[in-house]
A and B are shown apart, each in its own frame.
Chain A
Amino acid sequence: MSSSAAAAPVAGGVGTAWLWRVAIYGALLLFAVIYLLPLFVMLVTSFKTLDEIRGGDMLQLPQQPTIEPWLNAWGTACIGLTCEGLKGYFWNSIRMVVPAVAISTLLGAFNGYVLTKWRFPGHRLIFAMMLFGCFIPFQVVLVPMAQVLGKLGIANSTPGLILVHVAYGLGFTTLFFRNYYEAFPNELIKAAMIDGAGFFRIFFRILLPSSGPIIVVTVIFQFTNIWNDFLFGASFAAGGSSPMTVALNNLVSSSTGVKEYNVHMAGAMIAALPTLLVYVLAGRYFVRGLMAGAVKG
């Protein structure tokens, strides 16, 4: 694994080398503290009372820890005109993210299969066109999309958002499966064809059983992206069908009177927990997805 100029003392001498090691560890730990600080502050603030927030410093641990802000953010905080907390919006997000991830992953798997094992003239252009769709600024499709969703009668609804996320997630899911299946030996496919296996049988019997890792990568990537989306949610699902991110933003920005920072932080933690949990459980796959999305080919 490790390569590079690692640990080569810069200017001789065991003492200087040791000093360098200490400096490197010190710098790395300092950065780790900086990266963790906002999360730490968010977490401790969400367990403090408002009085304690006004009185003490934000890095201090809660003196009288309370879960009231969490209960409030989940069940009773006012968002817009209703005071039922974030729970409804949390389920909106779940209802949106599960079908959207499942459909876009399945379609991506089929597309990747066709684009590597059943190539036809122009397959490269089609792939490039699908891939470009991932990078467009979505501002350029907002108005037409709002019109079409309105015509289809699914404006301001979860099914509408599912359609949107499937449409703009296809490029990435296709990319993941295409690159993965590219490395899959063609000889196995040819042998199966000679044995008389058809298009679907080859896919379900040969490719799919060995697609575990890339399915995990794709599902995590799509889950994170769709859960974290704000622009589409804010544009196409106002009011009661809003996803979690939109509701959180409304909670934080529109509260009148006293700003309940502890409730805001608890709300932000609730919005962050699903993706953080996935990251903690399967960080390796999450990073692989990010890298595949960044470093094409």
Chain B
Amino acid sequence: MTTATTIDSTIGWLQRQLPKLVLAPSFAVVLLFVYGFILWTIYLSFTESKMMPNYGFTGLSAYARLWAQPNWYVALQNLGIFGTLYIGICIGLGLLLAILLDQRIRIEGLLRPIYLYPMALSFIVTGTAWQWFLNPGLGLEKTMHEWGWTSFTFDWLINSDKAIYTIVIAAVWQSSGFVMAIFLAGLRGIDSELIRAAQIDGASSFAIYRRIVIPMLRPVFLSAFIVLAHMAIKSYDLVIALTGGGPGRATEVPATFMYSYTFTRNQMGVGAASAVIMLMTIAAVIVPYLYSELRERRHEQ
């Protein structure tokens, strides 16, 4: 074998491998930054790391300490309240707006962008705006008093029992237009022949929506649920900007819990354990969904 043919065959091999070589850097980055870092954090959750990582294996002690923290239960309870209301209201409101907009509304082109624009904003901007809007001293409450409704009170932002609901309000304001958009796309995808047939049979609009249209939107409900659930579990920015986790620790959620235990309370092991639990919760929702989505595509091909 001469050198020339060796070089030729090397070039040939390289050319055949070129697509993989182009993909390789991205995949390597994802392997390291996503999967490598997840394993790293999982390992940290089995240590007693305080301010800095400490790699002495201590088993489940960080998890034991995590589940002994009253704050962690507050965070989970808040996530439960926030997640349920946020997902429920966004889906209800999004569906309602989509159905109303689908009634041959002449100004639809004007209204749709109005419902959707909050989605373009940062949660920090949303939080800042709503913090001002709901400020008991100067915002909505004061305005109502100026208008003569002097008995009106709205102090949820500084009320420990109610503050979590202000986060729901701001988050729904931000995301419900987006849910409207995916429902509207779903409605537009429904075969109009089906509906005409039902109308000829004398079904009322209400019955058509309840019996035909909404059941056909099941995949859209699922998509909306997945997107909203994973946003709810990850929510951090809005809580920081709107309430800062307060008053006191009243609006602590897992994401703020993780951050404060890891970076300000010097309990990195506990923080890592809480992050792993967040990951497992999201994975339980996302993995089956991605699996079924990608598998369906295989059948289509």
Q: Mark A131-147, 1 if CB is under 8 A from B, else 0.
A: 11101111111111101
* B230 interface hit (Cβ, 8 Å): yes
Known: A111-B23, A167-B29, A283-B116. A271 touches B125 (CB 8 A): yes
* B30 interface hit (Cβ, 8 Å): yes
Give the CA-CA distance A9 to B296 in the complex, in Å. Answer: 39
Which residue of B has the minimal Cβ distance to A130? B30
Residues of chain B lying within 8 A (CB to CB) of residue A180: none
* B60 interface hit (Cβ, 8 Å): no
Which residue of B has the minimal Cβ distance to A142? B262
Residues of chain B lying within 8 A (CB to CB) of residue A124: 294, 298
Give the CA-CA distance A218 to B33 in the complex, in Å. Answer: 21
* A107 interface hit (Cβ, 8 Å): yes
* B168 interface hit (Cβ, 8 Å): no
Give the CA-CA distance A139 to B125 in the complex, in Å. Answer: 21
Known: A8-B205, A230-B240. A31 touches B97 (CB 8 A): yes
B278–A139 contact, CB under 8 A? yes
Which residue of A has the minimal Cβ distance to B110? A32
Residues of chain B lying within 8 A (CB to CB) of residue A81: none
Which residue of B has the minimal Cβ distance to A275? B120
Known: A5-B195, A275-B122. A140 touches B22 (CB 8 A): no
B122–A245 contact, CB under 8 A? yes
Residues of chain A lying within 8 A (CB to CB) of residue B182: 291, 294-295
Interface size class of chain A, counting residues whose CB lies under 8 Å from the partner chain: 35 or more
Which residue of B has the minimal Cβ distance to A261? B132
Which residue of B has the minimal Cβ distance to A8? B205
What distance in Å separates the Cβ of A144 from its nearest Cβ neighbour in chain B?
4
A144–B36 contact, CB under 8 A? yes
Q: Mark B212-240, 1 if CB is under 8 A from A, else 0.
A: 01000000100110010010011011001
Give the CA-CA distance A107 to B28 in the complex, in Å. Answer: 13
Residues of chain A lying within 8 A (CB to CB) of residue B178: 290, 294
B268–A4 contact, CB under 8 A? no
Which residue of A has the minimal Cβ distance to B272? A143
Residues of chain B lying within 8 A (CB to CB) of residue A144: 36-37, 40-41
Stretch of B64-72, B82-90, B134-142 on the interface side: B134-142
Stretch of A49-57, A153-161, A206-214 on the interface side: A49-57
Q: Mark A257-297, 1 if CB is under 8 A from B, else 0.
A: 00001001101100110011011000100110011001111
* B10 interface hit (Cβ, 8 Å): no
A131–B279 contact, CB under 8 A? no
B26–A170 contact, CB under 8 A? yes
* B81 interface hit (Cβ, 8 Å): no
* B44 interface hit (Cβ, 8 Å): yes
Known: A41-B133, A114-B20, A279-B120. A11 touches B143 (CB 8 A): no
A297–B294 contact, CB under 8 A? yes
Give the CA-CA distance A8 to B203 in the complex, in Å. Answer: 10
* A3 interface hit (Cβ, 8 Å): yes
A53–B102 contact, CB under 8 A? no
Give the CA-CA distance A296 to B268 in the complex, in Å. Answer: 35
Give the CA-CA distance A25 to B185 in the complex, in Å. Answer: 20
B138–A54 contact, CB under 8 A? yes
In-complex Cβ contact of A198 among B15, B23, B118 (8 A): B15
In-complex Cβ contact of B213 among A5, A36, A168, A296 (8 A): A5
Which residue of A has the minimal Cβ distance to B274? A139
Give the CA-CA distance A124 to B290 in the complex, in Å. Answer: 11
* B259 interface hit (Cβ, 8 Å): yes
Which residue of B has the minimal Cβ distance to A108? B26
Known: A5-B205, A107-B26, A261-B138. A27 touches B100 (CB 8 A): yes
What distance in Å separates the Cβ of B19 from its nearest Cβ neighbour in chain A?
3
A128–B294 contact, CB under 8 A? yes
What distance in Å separates the Cβ of B224 from its nearest Cβ neighbour in chain A?
8
Known: A53-B138, A170-B26, A230-B124. A143 touches B290 (CB 8 A): no
B204–A276 contact, CB under 8 A? no
CB under 8 Å from chain A, chain B span 22-46: 22-23, 25-27, 29-31, 33-38, 40-41, 44
Query: Could you show 30 A-B contacts with beta carbons less than 8 Å apart?
Result: A3-B102, A3-B187, A9-B205, A21-B103, A28-B105, A31-B97, A35-B114, A39-B129, A42-B129, A45-B132, A57-B142, A58-B133, A107-B26, A110-B22, A111-B26, A114-B19, A135-B282, A137-B279, A138-B234, A141-B37, A142-B262, A167-B34, A231-B236, A231-B237, A245-B122, A265-B128, A265-B132, A275-B121, A283-B113, A290-B181
Q: Closest 5 CB pairs between A and B?
A: A118-B19, A228-B122, A3-B192, A57-B143, A133-B34
